[in-house]
Structure 1
Amino acid sequence: MAVTETAYAKINLALHVRRRREDGYHELETLFAFVDAGDVLTARPADRDELKVVGEFGGQLTDPFGNIVAKALGVLPRPGGLDITMEKNLPVAAGLGGGSADAGAVFRIVRELHGLPDDWQTRAAKLGADVPACVESVTCIGRGTGTELEPVESDLTGTPVLLVNPRVPLATGPVFNAWDGEDRGPMPLGTVSDIAQQGRNDLEEPAVRLCPPIAEVLTSLAGTDAFLSRMSGSGATCFALYRHHDAMREAAEKLASDYPQWWQMSGNLR
């Protein structure tokens, strides 16, 4: 029996960095949301774990057994192996939680086939700060390093979203290291749309310094009929939210024409 799961692209509707911690991590407040598109994982029961990576960005994962999917398989007890084919549609090191989303999809596959151990959240957090949120892939507020989660009802579910990346990989560590350390205040309260529109991404400025094309992406998205455009996570992917699908499609077509070298993906917020 084959089980297929989408590794839903993660975006940060807001990301407030509050302080550097002594353990090297950062204390933050973020509003996670998920797009109904992403990588696709298909798993079949097997004698031992196997992983095949295909898709546009599959070639960027040069060590498939050293990646987070293999690590996720390694932390989940099961009676048998899984043969997984992963269609890598999301760019790597892009601020979309691609690897974390892939790991989250593995957790859901194992849950469907065998169930998860009671301490699955702890196991997920050891793989990466975004992984616990990506297991359920629902709108939630993350605190601490992003692993203290509070699911929230979203008034933006179904909102058309356009993702754009300049095809420049940007590692998370250097962006956090380039943050100036200034606490600009907590994430606002209110509905999901209130938090998104009144919030900010504190990593945007350091990311633009490290990867100037992000500024051009943001300017281009701001020139469309979006009611919100922002960088996601540590970049370099940016997103734009629209009131209507027609406006999103028009924006996608214009950007594809003006910047054919950019990667883009469209969908709806879950």
Structure 2
Amino acid sequence: MRETAYAKINLALHVRRRRDDGYHELETLFAFVDDGDILSARTAAHDELRVSGEFAPQLTDSFGNIAAKALSKLPRTGGILINLEKRLPVAAGLGGGSADAGAVFRIVRELHGLPDDWMKRAAALGADVPACVESVTCVGRGTGTDLEPVENDLAGTPVLLVNPRVPLSTGPVFDAWASSGDGQDRGALPDGSASEIAREGRNDLEAPAISLCPPIGDVLAALRETGASLVRMSGSGATCFALYDDRKALTEAAEALAVNQPDWWQMQGRLR
């Protein structure tokens, strides 16, 4: 079997009230790009995960890898050998690990079926994992695990992902948001279709992420000069995305960035 672990982006991300457990309520619009990490799988005597690809060296703990944990969370008979081609940068706001776990769930579903409580098992792995299992545009609330359908009028939209090749962990970004003057509830996610929510929404973590990783600001500025219809940081960074009205505009933007910023990572695709 072959599965794509679709790159996750947050078209909008609103941080709301602080919960009793220390986490903050989130409201986000999840969307997924039609490209990402690649997983190939086959039945085997026992479970095994092999990792290759550009960003494989950053995954040094094979036992702590979320894709391996996903395998261990799903009961079945027989093992599965998975080869993971790591094409998405790590700690990049793209839900790369969560996307890998979501792809593992789809592989197991195809081969053996999933248990009735698969959603609970997915949430135990990470807040983004339940959304990544189906990898369709939706609204996430709570810690991001309470999912709601949304009118997806952005399907097929050309999207460019750009990362300055600087890893940025989520925890410090939330800490910076909480300790900054901007660490307050600025209001709910707007209602409407995916395009309306994306256009009228925001990413509350953008400013604190830039304070920790200034190159994010450079990426956003460069993307805004390409004529994109929407430019924003995804998740807690450091990846940023730009949406375009047509593929030609995206291609021209990507080519220009490759010349002007050859060290930046980028991926082209369309929203699912």
CA distance in 1 between counterparts of 2:83 and 2:23 reads: 32
For residues 65-214 of structure 1, the aligned pairs below 5 Å read 65-180=63-178, 181-214=183-216
Deviation string for 1:184-241 (max 9, x for gaps)? 0001111110110110000001100010000000000000110000000000000000
CA distance in 1 between counterparts of 2:124 and 2:192 reads: 31
Contact 1:104 1:135 in 2 (8 A): yes
Q: Residue in 1 aligned with 2:270?
A: 268
SS in 1 for 2:25: strand
Count of aligned positions: 268
Contact 1:51 1:65 in 2 (8 A): no
Deviation string for 1:88-114 (max 9, x for gaps)? 000000000000000000000000000
Deviation string for 1:138-170 (max 9, x for gaps)? 000000000000122210000000000000000
Candidates 254, 257, 260, aligned match of 1:258:
260
SS in 1 for 2:63: helix
CA distance in 2 between counterparts of 1:19 and 1:169 reads: 27
CA distance in 1 between counterparts of 2:232 and 2:61 reads: 32
Report deviation, 1:178: 1.2
CA distance in 1 between counterparts of 2:76 and 2:170 reads: 32
Name the Cα RMSD after superposition: 0.7
Deviation string for 1:4-23 (max 9, x for gaps)? 10000000000000022221
Aligned residue type for 1:34:
F
Q: Residue in 1 aligned with 2:251?
A: 249
CA distance in 2 between counterparts of 1:225 and 1:51 reads: 41
Q: When the two structures are superposed, what TM-score results if normalisation uses the length of structure 1? A: 0.98
CA distance in 2 between counterparts of 1:215 and 1:20 reads: 27
For residues 11-30 of structure 1, the aligned pairs below 5 Å read 11-30=9-28
Report deviation, 1:259: 0.3
Gap regions ≥5 residues in structure 2 = none
For residues 208-227 of structure 1, the aligned pairs below 5 Å read 208-227=210-229
SS in 2 for 1:249: helix
| Percent pairwise identity | 75
Q: When the two structures are superposed, what TM-score results if normalisation uses the length of structure 2? A: 0.97
CA distance in 2 between counterparts of 1:97 and 1:153 reads: 22
Moved more, 99-108 or 60-69: 60-69
CA distance in 2 between counterparts of 1:56 and 1:226 reads: 28
Report deviation, 1:26: 1.4
Gap regions ≥5 residues in structure 1 = none
Deviation string for 1:56-100 (max 9, x for gaps)? 101110112221011101110010111100000000000000000
Q: Residue in 2 aligned with 1:237?
A: 239
Report deviation, 1:260: 0.3
Moved beyond 4 Å, runs of 4+: none
Q: Residue in 2 aligned with 1:61?
A: 59
